[in-house]
Structure 1
Amino acid sequence: MTPQPGLIFVTSEDDRYLVKGGIGTATGVLTDSIRDLYPDRRVDWITESPTAATFVEREGSLTRHYLSRTECGVRMPLSRFARVVDDYLRRMLDQRLEDPNSPGLIIEAADWEGLASAVFRDLDGDESLKVARLHTPLALCAQVNELALTAEDNAQMEREGVQLSHSDLLSAPTGFVLSRTLETVLAGSTDAPPTAVIPNCADVAGFLPSENGQRQALDHLLQATGIAVPEAAFKIFVLGSVEYRKGVRIIQDAIPKVFDSIPNCHLVWIGHFASSDQLTANSKLPPEAFYSGIPERWRSQVHLTGFIDHGDLHQVLPGADLFAVCYLADNFPGVVLEIALSEQPVVALLRGGVREMIMGRDRPMALVLDDALPDSISEQLRAAANQHFRDPTEGKTLARKLRLHVLDRFSPDTVTPSLLATYDHHLDRKRGTARPWARLRPSA
């Protein structure tokens, strides 16, 4: 068998120890899929260590490299950690590409944080394909999250811009994030890299419909978070970090309307929120800031659970009567896949990449909020919740259709071969006039 190009993935989080958001989860599903479908294809994943130690884990053809972000007992700033990743990646490339019989390498680095920016800038041989995987660059997050930028944030955006502009291929899960990135991050560029739109893989095995009934799911929620939600209540769940771009203001504005219409309604928000000593580039809100936007009379019926491990999440999802996805500018939110695979009813704002995820051939496969009427979104949410409260038939029917839609379009067996075929094709085109490998110098 002809050796296939190796693959190197670079992210700042994984799906096991440092699950900060969707990037690590999406990369984990993809790399596991490559390992299982193509066991002869070497895969390396460079990411941040959850401890002060650097260590390696091997699972068949997949090797995870966990790099320490601790220096002299203190967590490094991101700009310093970027240099650690850069040095490690350069040494790996030198070892792998010096071999004259090397079949080549494909390096997929998440745009977020730009950890491979210096390597992408300096690496110009034809033996490798530099792929920037678009999740959501900080420049886009900063606009929607009303972020006051720090020096570290500005350095991050500069790295992201360098990495994107020196890529051989921009690989995006949705056309939405691709167009926004070209407009915002690469604005004015006359020589943007080639592009491809390839969705993320759905974690089909991890999010089968749970056998839990609603009572068991609420018991699991209580055990995981200490939060008790009455089974008799009408329960709306929100998944995702507590951020403006995840629809905080829509939810805050809708709560009085929904709760006046359905007094026994409870809202449960599952996801990371900020603490007083936690400032992130995603600008998550602390609980007090979130609750300040909700009338006091309803606050006891609104619950922030914090993060629930993905391994437990599918046991909790059946506790909801309805999920609300009101993201303002998200790329390819994994929560849509998780809700869909769990076959739970959902009402979704048709904005950003969500539209591309839930649209069938002629209609959306969920209850929807019309983005063309932005001043009435919270009222639309009240109407959709009230409709589902009175008659859940349509929501449940759409939930079954959405699950089949996700299984058809986003399963690893469908997405992974398409992604690798695209990357291999671009590497083959690049290697048409291959030059000898020139050892990478350490970055300045």
Structure 2
Amino acid sequence: MVKSSRHRGGPVTLLSVGHACVDVYQGSVAALVPFLVSERAYPYAAAAGVVLAASLLSSVVQPLFGVLTDRRSVPWLLPVSTLAAGVGIALCGLTGQYALTLAVVALSGVGVAAYHPEAARVARIAGRGDDRAMSWFSLGGNLGFAAAPLLVSGVVGTGGLAASPLLVLPAVAGALLCAAALRSTGRRQPPGADASRSPAGRDDRASFARLSAAIACRSVVFVGLGTFISLHAGQQVGGATAVATTALFLFYAGGAVGTVLGGRLAGRFGRLRVVRWSYALTAPAVAGAVLVPGPLLLLFAAVTAVGLSVPFSLHITLGQDYLPRHPGTASGVTLGLAVSVGGVAGPLVGALADATSLRVALVPLIALPALGWLFLRTLREPDRHLDRPSS
């Protein structure tokens, strides 16, 4: 435990804060939706299309970046991808045309995609494969999500979409933190250095596929609610912008709490048991967030986020242990699915909301955590593996 604490106090902490600076831009896309609806009169489906633009291309390229990190160390991706993620969002408010808005948001999505597989690999090495270390790394991403609505509301809510260039500042800070983390872990290796690693164990592709299917169910719920919870809360609770911002903040903050709990609970009860229970208990919380009117909706939204986020870091380590020979690919798929499938489903939710109502469109999300539990039900705990570079 002392060793784990030391890692958290050094490179893992730097990586966690850098992760927050990157995932601000994933959270910013959803946080921008109410402003795009109000300033540009986007319908629900068009607003969800902006979220899709950030996630669809990301979903395609993130596993490819994972394959790349399995073949060689690419630490330079961390600061470069962080800056790309920030620049895309910074330009979002300056592009009056819908197509250009989609393009710059897609640029941000590619930056986010390029960052995560290499960052997860470096975090796994820095934390010696410890679930709590990975949960601290993942916590940074959740805190970035949670900070996004406050940041966007403060900047865009005050200066309008034209003030969006100010949103690049976290990316600059994140790039500097990534460089410091890489120096601290000593991961600046010469080309071909990773070829000396000898991965242990065999890939269990069938178990990884079932884990990925469960993650896809979780993704649709998390991204669907993350995209529309602010608008849904505004309709059901009232209070317009203040309630919308509060709902999104509580949703992402609940995610941060869940991520920390995941690592701690896994150490006591085991990863798969914790993941299964989190899926099972999330379904009624989603029902409350969708169906319960009034301020209590905000509480259910926060509880839903906790339940959805408890397994987040555990998905990463489970995936890496199911594919011990391809940990970068595992990270790319698990982290990519965490947002991509939900982003693809988002416009469908938006189109249904345009045709009926937002509440009706969110009702199908209630069943998905239970479906995810079914995919996880027969999985077995994999062996723990950690690639270590040869001396």
TM-score range, shorter chain: under 0.3
Q: Which has the higher contact order (CA 8 A, sep 6+)?
A: 2
Say which structure is richer in strand: 1
Alignment TM-score, normalising by the size of structure 2: 0.28
Say which structure is richer in helix: 2
Q: Please say which structure displays the higher CA radius of gyration.
A: 1
Alignment TM-score, normalising by the size of structure 1: 0.25
